[in-house]
Structure 1
Amino acid sequence: MTLILTQPRQTARIGLTAADAMTTPGPQVGDDMIVDVALSVLIGAGVGHLIVRGEDDRCAGLVSRAQLTAYRSGSWYAEDTRLRDIVHDRGPFTLSETSLTEAEYAMRARELGASPVVDEDGYILGVLALAH
């Protein structure tokens, strides 16, 4: 796997940060959204994950299609379950100034395919993704 560099500012990876390699965050939903609705948004947008925002609009996590589908197929499934009540990546998130090498290492260690990139206050700036 390698990182997808969508807008590299340098030709070499040395010195690149998460901000240099991130893509736009894509669809964002509130943590109070019902799982079924979130899955519909995800499918409608044709993406593999959604950024989850908390009540304060800061990044509260990232949820994948696989996580939503697995939840819905479990015996614990309830139609009124909110995103805040299911298992998904809740951080730590990648800071924009993190070196690309460090970010890749952290994502591989946590077995993440994508990680939200946030500013120092926790607001979403973009998403860093590993390519297969």
Structure 2
Amino acid sequence: MTLVQTHPRTPCADAGRRTAADAMDGAGPQVWDDMTVEVALSVMAAARTGHLVVRDEDGRFTDLVSRARLTAVRDGRGYTDRVRLRDVVVEGAPFASPLSTVAEAERAMRDRRLGALPVVDEDGNALGVLALTR
């Protein structure tokens, strides 16, 4: 099952005080962690996206997985068609609060060398994704 949630952008008068919620794009495809890696790659291809938001059995954000990461897992030595997303997600995956400033989120992304950072509310819901432009 693929869920798509979006959050409208709100205009902000002071660009220096823009929050992650102001700047994020919709979360895009959201999938459950019991999905296999192969199916997740198929969902990415169909959605024409480079990442998926992964949710646990309670519907809370657990990780943002990229096509490159899943392809590396699939091409790895221990891969079988039974490997699920929960087997490859990173516990404590980084995310931004909707109240974080854009500058804080950008600094975190650059420090961790992330191309995208999910925006997650206090209840664990992925609201959107921030992406660095080059």
TM-score (norm 1): 0.89
- The CA distance in 2 between the partners of 1:78 and 1:120, in whole Å, is 35
- How much has 1:13 moved relative to structure 2? 2.7
- How much has 1:100 moved relative to structure 2? 0.6
- The CA distance in 1 between the partners of 2:132 and 2:94, in whole Å, is 17
- The CA distance in 2 between the partners of 1:67 and 1:93, in whole Å, is 17
How big is each residue's C-alpha offset from its partner over 1:72-106, in whole Å with a ceiling of 9 and x where there is no partner? 11111111000010155852311000011001001
| Contact kept? 1:63, 1:89, Cα under 8 Å | no
Give the fraction of aligned pairs with identical amino acids, expressed as a percent. Answer: 54
- How much has 1:8 moved relative to structure 2? 6.3
- The CA distance in 2 between the partners of 1:28 and 1:10, in whole Å, is 27
Deviates further, 36-45 or 11-20? 11-20
- Which residue among 11, 20, 23 is the counterpart of 2:22? 20
Computed over aligned residues only, the root mean square deviation of the Cα atoms, in angstroms, reads: 1.7
Higher relative contact order (CA 8 A, sep 6+): 1
- The CA distance in 2 between the partners of 1:88 and 1:50, in whole Å, is 13
Matched with 1:48 is: 50
Count of residue pairs brought into register by the alignment:
127
Q: Which structure 1 residue ranges, 4+ long, deviate > 2 Å from structure 2?
A: 10-13, 87-90
Equivalences for residues 1-132 of structure 1 within 5 A: 7=9, 9-10=11-12, 12-88=14-90, 90-132=92-134
- How much has 1:9 moved relative to structure 2? 1.6
